[in-house]
Amino acid sequence: MGSLSLVHWLIVLLVVLILFGRGRISEMMGDFGKGISSFKKGLNETDEQVAKAARIEPPAAPVETPAPAPVEKTDSTGA
Question: Is this model's pTM higher than 0.85 or not?
Answer: no
> Which pLDDT score, from 0 to 100, does residue 79 have?
55
pLDDT at residue number 57: 54
Per-residue pLDDT of the chain (79 residues; tens, 9 = 90+): 567 789 999 999 888 888 887 777 788 888 999 999 999 888 888 777 777 766 655 556 677 777 777 777 776 665 5
Pairwise CA distance, residues 10 & 14, whole Å: 6
Burial class (CB in 10 A: 0-12, 13-18, 19+), 8: exposed
